[in-house]
């Protein structure tokens, strides 16, 4: 399936983290003209304008400090001498097609500062990916509570111009199989569409079940991506 012709510029998705950090999320970032990162309490992610520019790696080393681990989502990264590969993985980037049918979810509630402890606890139980005390500030997060307990959530993270990433999709194990994750994804997508933007998301290539679910909802794989964790030089 191909993406609809009405899609915004897809080229910004080639370096979605960088485009977010220099664009809609600039208020949550710090760094230089060549490299930026989210504030340490917001998200553990960095963006590099040009991974082939050695000056950017010099700036990055100064920004994060010695022997610090950084996560980079950019295919074909070849780090300069002194940077140590820690781990890596393959993933997919998926974009919404015109088959996606966003809609509200009446049971979902907006999550905010008062819900952070519960959000962090749910993330710790389900392990959907990085989530820090102020990640919720990056966009709208919706959750489902049962008897006061937060048992499922999803929200917005990266925000390159014209696009918003759906992230932190998770459900407590005992409540899975009820379609809560799907309904939350569609509800978050509904808010994104209301702003005139298009949803996209990322998934580990090994997470076949999630990828198939997202395809069923109306997403399509745009490209494969590489996640790389590197340790900065000692000096």
Distance CA 167, CA 38 (A): 16
pLDDT recorded at residue 94: 98
**pLDDT tens-place string over residues 91-132:** 999 999 999 999 999 999 999 999 999 999 999 999 999 999
Residue 2 in this model has a pLDDT that exceeds 60: no
Topology of domain 94-223, CATH: Aminopeptidase (3.40.630)
Dihedral pair phi/psi, residue 231, rounded to 5°: -105, 130
pLDDT recorded at residue 149: 97
Sequence ranges of the domains in the chain: 10-91+226-231, 94-223
CA distances from 28 to 130, 135, 176, 222 (A): 16, 10, 33, 27
In the beta sheet, which residues pair with residue 109? 143
pLDDT level of residue 6 (50, 70, 90 thresholds): low
Identify the CATH homologous superfamily for domain 10-91+226-231. Gcn5-related N-acetyltransferase (GNAT) (3.40.630.30)
Whole-structure pTM value:
0.93
pLDDT level of residue 141 (50, 70, 90 thresholds): very high
56: its two tokens: 């950017």
**pLDDT tens-place string over residues 17-70:** 999 999 999 999 999 999 999 999 999 999 999 999 999 999 999 999 999 999
**pLDDT tens-place string over residues 201-233:** 999 999 999 999 999 999 999 999 999 899 999
Q: What is the mean pLDDT of residues 1-22?
A: 79
Same-fold call for 10-91+226-231 versus 94-223: yes
């Amino acid at each position: 399936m191909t993406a609809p012709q009405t899609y915004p510029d897809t080229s910004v998705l080639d370096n979605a983290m960088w485009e977010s950090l220099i664009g809609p999320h600039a208020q949550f970032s710090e760094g230089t003209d060549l490299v930026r990162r989210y504030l340490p309490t917001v998200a553990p992610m960095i963006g590099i304008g040009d991974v082939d520019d050695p000056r950017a790696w010099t700036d990055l080393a100064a920004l994060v400090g010695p022997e610090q681990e950084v996560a980079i989502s950019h295919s074909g990264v070849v780090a300069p001498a002194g940077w140590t590969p820690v781990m890596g993985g393959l993933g997919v980037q998926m974009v919404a097609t015109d088959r996606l049918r966003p809609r509200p979810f009446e049971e979902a509630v907006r999550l905010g500062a008062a819900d952070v402890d519960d959000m962090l606890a749910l993330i710790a139980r389900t392990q959907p990916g990085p989530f820090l005390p102020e990640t919720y500030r990056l966009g709208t997060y919706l959750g489902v509570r049962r008897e006061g307990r937060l048992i499922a959530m999803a929200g917005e993270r990266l925000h390159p111009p014209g696009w918003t990433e759906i992230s932190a999709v998770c459900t407590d194990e005992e409540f899975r199989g009820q379609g809560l994750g799907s309904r939350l994804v569609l509800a978050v997508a509904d808010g994104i569409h209301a702003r005139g933007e298009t949803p996209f998301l990322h998934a580990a290539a090994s997470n076949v079940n999630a990828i198939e679910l997202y395809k069923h909802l109306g997403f399509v794989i745009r490209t494969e991506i590489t996640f790389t964790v590197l340790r900065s030089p000692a000096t």
